[in-house]
Chains A and B, each alone.
Chain A
């Protein structure tokens, strides 16, 4: 089948092939939407233009933090609107922004240990290990564990556990101690990248080569070539397995 005439996502189509419909409550108002819709698509299907509460739409940016309740369930659930599917009777809303302060610091004056955590995010040490952050994480990360690691000063462990964090801030919104978990994660990742990795000597050598103009002659030759000559060279080049 040719895909040239693919409709724009689901925009412009009211009927969905073989789709069953479910009722959801968006900001308290009932709408009927396809059951296979994500929360984000359901909101748009209902006619909203999302401005705050959508970003990459693929689960990387953390802009679309959403909270919802389900019928007969006392719990307040959290998720990303772009990857959470709707359910019958779901009551949901988008979080327009997460108010919190990122600390200002100079990476060059820090050391990759507990002193950096103490200096930049002292609030971290209020953690009572209740696990609310972990339960709130839409990525399924062990947030409480990495905060515990931060309190021990094991920033490399924090970086590893927080690697897949999308910084939606749902952990921080739910934290009773008001810790900014995802910012602690970013700080730890930067400390790890800056200070705890072995540097590449090959890379240093290459940078030195470039600075000493080693490739100037070759560049000049290549840049002077016409398409035919360059093409010949290109198709004849060897490929590393």
Chain B
């Protein structure tokens, strides 16, 4: 039940529903999809990437002079956590040695480890929190794969290119779309329970920007099902895969020939730095939602602070599309406790409609994500003022979910969206009878470390897979292509890195690139107390944080380096 001040707006939704339902049942688009010109217009005026102060040129590193999202540029121009001189002994006598170091224990990392194990190669997974504590776990709606007879991998290719504004790397998109059917089969062989039709064929639904029904799913728990399957399989190979939890990597290690040779890990439990010597290294660290770009709430995991980008960048790898961020059109706005939480796009794929305060449709429900998000922001902006305000000062529009049962039959929502039903019922809202209040929420790092279709970077021995990589989605990713991305490229990274590790010969280990980064900061006159990787965000109230940061001396407070080091002054002046 919504409080009285919102209940009146719910009535508006119910008032307009019969007409909207009638239209939805015709099978025609319920609102005219935008033309290319209309998309361009709404994006440049309302998408947060275009707002004032959203981007600025970065002053150090391989992308020097190029525009990056401001919060990312700040991380790239920050100090390293380590003093290379104090780790020289460790470089000579590493704490761990392995064929393959996998940084990150999400979907891509687990796939890489499984693939390596299948080829008899040893790997070590170093992860910030627990294995499986990753955005992979949180995906809800589905994965794109051209499996139905009316579809084809090349159609999938065209949809993905259009969604990414034709800026995607064509070779990566081909691999993504062409490997997809095989990935569905591989996951089923590992024990993923797909939603199916009675004859065994895959149940498929639409997502934003898809021209065919292509979304395969596991109710609305696809991430939880895939992630738990992969991590269970990883743990079935203790002889080949070792796991270090709560030991995130904070810098890469190169050898004297400039090849990647492992990483420095930081134990969150004991605050030690540990050296891993590895013949090949895979970055599978995911994205950066917890940077709260532009101050947005996020759908992302606690550890999503873009650490892989920072490490790879300092080691000399080039980044792509770091001026572009994805906002998921539908994050929860009410109740306050779940503000920012992901409301799966599958809801709109199944017929859910976004409505303004008058209960009117104002956008085609399945535009690509950036377009849909920008349209919702426009509806809530001062230009239109058609949003609904909550008592804590958030604004949103409705997402009409009850209409889904009216389209597909009673019980459909409970069967297809048990996770969503549970999230809202905890706070007394029944989404089968009442709509959800939504607003775009920071969701995905469109860009990342540049790779080719073998997941190779410009640094020999360094591979990247999953959200940490850049290029495959261009400047906007379609729903269900990130789940596909980590499955496709996690497998590939495991395969090609294994091949490389078999013959790799390492030279003397070095952290000279960290010393060089420090010199570059000095040369550019960059004065900052920021330390990166950030590792974890801080949600400590400002006055408490000031008290915590007041200490003097060279011994760090317990985990003080994990805290966001923005000074209060910087905070005030930050946009």
Contact = CB atoms under 8 A, between A and B. Distances in A.
B178 A215 contact: yes
In the A-B complex, the 5 residue pairs with the smallest Cβ-Cβ separation, listed nearest first, are A190-B191, A198-B200, A11-B539, A234-B162, A241-B27
B191 A58 contact: no
Interface string B263-278: 0000010000000000
Interface in B44-62: 48, 51
B238 A104 contact: yes
A52 interface: yes
Contacts of B422: 59, 139-140, 164
Given A202-B201, A207-B185, A56 B137 contact: yes
Contacts of B189: 194
A48 B544 CA distance: 10
B296 A193 contact: no
Interface SS of chain A: helix, strand, loop or mixed?
loop
Contacts of B573: none
Nearest to B130: A63
A163 B158 contact: no
A74 interface: no
Interface of B: 27-29, 33, 35-36, 48, 51, 129-130, 132-133, 137-138, 146-150, 152-155, 157-159, 161-162, 166, 170-171, 174, 178, 181-182, 184-185, 188-194, 196, 199-202, 206, 211-213, 219, 221, 223-225, 228-229, 232-233, 235-236, 238, 246, 268, 292, 294-297, 299, 301-302, 336-342, 377, 380-382, 387, 389, 391-395, 418-419, 422-423, 426, 439, 536-544, 548, 559, 562-563, 571, 575
Contact of A193 (B138, B170, B194, B382): B194
A233 B152 CA distance: 15
A159 interface: yes
Interface in A169-220: 186-187, 189-194, 197-204, 206-207, 210, 215, 218-219
Contact of A218 (B154, B161, B268, B537): B154
B181 A36 contact: no
A118 interface: no
Contacts, number: 274
A227 to B, nearest CB: 5
A163 B219 CA distance: 9
24 contacts: A2-B380, A8-B537, A9-B539, A12-B541, A14-B541, A17-B393, A41-B539, A44-B539, A46-B544, A51-B246, A56-B137, A58-B299, A61-B301, A63-B133, A106-B236, A139-B422, A186-B229, A187-B232, A194-B191, A199-B188, A203-B201, A206-B181, A223-B174, A231-B162
Interface in A33-80: 36-38, 41, 44-52, 54-61, 63
A18 interface: yes
A50 B149 CA distance: 49
Given A1-B389, A51-B559, A163-B219, A58 B236 contact: no
Given A1-B387, A1-B393, A17-B392, A49 B559 contact: yes
Given A51-B536, A234-B161, A240-B211, A17 B133 contact: no
Nearest to B147: A203
B395 A1 contact: yes
Contacts of B181: 203, 206-207, 210
B162 A163 contact: no
B129 A63 contact: yes
Contacts of B130: 55, 63, 97
A197 B200 contact: yes
Given A49-B559, A239-B211, A2 B381 contact: yes
Contacts of A47: 540-541, 544, 548
Given A3-B439, A104-B238, A11 B540 contact: yes
B200 A199 contact: yes
Contacts of B419: 59-60, 164
Given A63-B133, A85-B337, 18 more contacts: A5-B295, A14-B542, A17-B391, A36-B336, A45-B539, A49-B562, A55-B301, A58-B138, A58-B342, A107-B233, A167-B228, A200-B147, A218-B152, A230-B158, A230-B166, A233-B158, A234-B159, A240-B206
